[in-house]
Structure 1
Amino acid sequence: MDQMPIQGQQVYQLSQFWSSVMVEMRQPQDFKTAILPLARIKKIMKLDDEVKMISAEALILFSKALEIFIRELGMRSWGHTEENKRRTLQRNDIAMAVSRNDTFDFLIDIVPRDDIKSTQRPEEEIRPMMVAPEQLYYYTALQQQQGVDPQQPMMHPQYMQQQQGQDIYGGAGFQQPMQPYI
């Protein structure tokens, strides 16, 4: 199985997953212990105005369905993580899993498609610093003092001083590496 392409491995893993789920469902289970908190599930179900009472059986079935759903979504997301040769599951992996499977269409509004990004970021990309409203006066005054166009993206003052070649750290000959303030 190591020589299979990643897509083939994912299909194989999903078929194995559903086979194990079917075997698990056919075996007798103890419903007194649930993996997900039943009280919280019941509370979420009652948020719907049309729901007045929830039977214990429905709650247990819903809990089991949620457990299977979470496991499948996790497997599909992990497949995208492996495709990108990473070992950390990221938000865009879940978004890709949702976008690749029609079964998860109901999640499109919850996991927006604009979260689906290329996993490669160009190294030259420098994002301007976003300024909080209470700091806006300081940066605007600084820009006016230095004669900077206020329409240009604002950079952190230390970054601007580094750009001008000034030693802002005060050490004799000590200069921090130039990095954008992100």
Structure 2
Amino acid sequence: MSPTTPYAYSGEPLNDFLRPFWQRRVGATEQEAPDYKHPPLPLARIKKVMSSDPDVKMIAADTPTLFCKACETFISKITARVFIISDSNKRILSPADIAKSKP
């Protein structure tokens, strides 16, 4: 599948979307080399969120990078679900669209 192929199509049934979505995400994760120097989300912010839990004493060096990848996958799944559920003519996704997309 080429990088320009969309994850989802507006109006597509959610069940038809989920299996190919996870196959593409797993395939992309296995093929790409992690960029530790320039992650897509700020690692300092991720560490701050992780440290906000009073039960967390220490954080291993590779944990924020793994958490960053999990957040990236979560964001792409939620965004694709909202796109499928929202109107095809809309250009902006609203918080109400996000609330409607919850499983």
TM-score, with length taken from structure 2: 0.77
Q: Which amino acid aligns with 1:50?
A: D
Q: Which has the higher contact order (CA 8 A, sep 6+)?
A: 2
Distance 1:47 1:26, change over 3 A: same
Q: Which amino acid aligns with 2:100?
A: M
**Contact map agreement 2:43 2:64 (CA 8 A) in 1:** yes
Which stretches in structure 2 are left out of the alignment for 5+ residues? 1-8
CA distances 1:66-115 after superposition (whole Å, capped 9, x unpaired):
000011011111112136x43321110000112xx1xxxxxxxxxxxxxx
Query: d(CA) in 2 for partners of 1:35 and 1:53?
Result: 23
Higher alpha-carbon Rg: 1
Question: 2:56 aligned with 1:60, yes or no?
Answer: no
**Contact map agreement 1:81 1:87 (CA 8 A) in 2:** no
TM-score, with length taken from structure 1: 0.46
CA distances 1:36-95 after superposition (whole Å, capped 9, x unpaired):
000000001101111011112111111100000011011111112136x43321110000
Query: d(CA) in 2 for partners of 1:89 and 1:5?
Result: 13
2:51 alignment counterpart: 46
2:41 alignment counterpart: 36
The percent of aligned pairs where both chains have the same amino acid is 34
Which stretches in structure 1 are left out of the alignment for 5+ residues? 102-182
CA distances 1:137-166 after superposition (whole Å, capped 9, x unpaired):
xxxxxxxxxxxxxxxxxxxxxxxxxxxxxx
**Contact map agreement 2:10 2:86 (CA 8 A) in 1:** no
Distance 1:79 1:53, change over 3 A: same
**Contact map agreement 1:80 1:97 (CA 8 A) in 2:** yes
**Contact map agreement 1:81 1:88 (CA 8 A) in 2:** no
Question: 2:102 aligned with 1:82, yes or no?
Answer: no
